[in-house]
Amino acid sequence: MLELRHPSTIGREIKRNKYPQAKIYTFHWALEILKWRKRRVTATKYRKLNESVESMILQLIQQYLSPEQVSGYLKQHHQIAISHETIYRFIYADKARHQSLKPYLRQGAKLCRKRYGSGARASKIPNRVCITERPIVVEEKQRIGDWECDTMVGKDKKSVLVTAVDRFSLTTCCSRVYSRSAQVVSRAIIRMLKPHIDKVHTLTFDNGSEFVKHEKIAKALQAKTYFAHPYSSWERGINENTNGLIRQFLPKGTNFKSISCKEIKKIVNHLNNR
């Protein structure tokens, strides 16, 4: 059954796919021209990915940088503009390459995940100050001393990693504890940040019950504390991203009791000296 086409559509097809030396339009020549055009597009599609660039991408991924970070690094330091999606396609194009790089990838290409809240509601934290009251300078990330804090729970639901990261310098501190109680977590944060007390201005937490003793932390570190909105982990995005980096070394299902302090220190040193 013939389909009706507008005369202008037929005219464009003839102009685009008629062989130049031919007197009339033929289907077979049009098909060959179409195949040639596709081959030409395919040959130039990844023209930025030469052997040198591919080698740099592999080296950076193996340093636990995400494709997004690799894209930014190449643009800033080598003036090479490659999107993170192109880097993902390069990784997944070869099965063996993907398998070899899998241990270094944080979440593959799955960027959207359902977020679940945890811990106490905001109303159960005494004298809680909302993140909206945090000084503007903190949002600008132009000074050292504005920290985000969180906890990571091990397989046994008892061993815990307490993490803190500076918003500007991305300096990371991490401490293993054997309880998620507010008393234990507050002591861990004070112990981690006490050596940097002159570089502690603010601390931002989620609404977990382990941060109920935030006033004790504030007094010990001479800093102000703030809390993100409930179930809004993106408001502490730097800390969440850092936890993702740590999960590359200590995947979910890891029992933190089996991880030595020396191993944790090695992971922190790796993150702070990338």
pTM above 0.75? no
Task: Say what the pLDDT of residue 2 is.
Answer: 56
Residue 170 banded pLDDT, cuts 50, 70, 90:
very high
Candidates 260, 246, 56; CA nearest to 170 is 246
265 pLDDT higher than 90: yes
Instruction: For 215-229, give one letter per residue: b (16+ CB within 10 A) or e.
Output: ebbbebbebbbbbbe
State both tokens at 125.
């934290």
For residues 206 and 152, the answer to whether their CB atoms sit within 8 Å is no
The CATH topology of domain 122-272 is: Nucleotidyltransferase; domain 5 (3.30.420)
Show me where the domains of the chain are located. 7-45, 51-104, 122-272
What's the rounded Cα separation, in Å, for the pair 161 and 172?
12
Residue 110: what pLDDT?
53
pLDDT tens digits for range 96-154 = 899 888 888 876 545 445 444 444 444 579 999 999 999 999 999 999 999 999 999 99
What pLDDT shows up at residue 47? 61
What average pLDDT does this structure show over 202-214?
94
Asked whether residue 160 carries a pLDDT value surpassing 70, the answer given is yes
pLDDT at 168 over 70: yes
| Structure tokens belonging to residue 108 | 């593959």
Exposed, middle or buried by CB within 10 Å (0-12, 13-18, 19+), for 198? exposed
* Confidence band for 45, pLDDT divided at 50, 70 and 90: low
Q: What percent of the chain has pLDDT over 70?
A: 90
3-state secondary structure labels for all residues of 78-89: HCCCCCHHHHHH
At residue 219, does pLDDT exceed 80? yes
pLDDT value at 16 more than 90: no
The predicted pLDDT at position 172 comes to 95
At 108 the pLDDT is 54
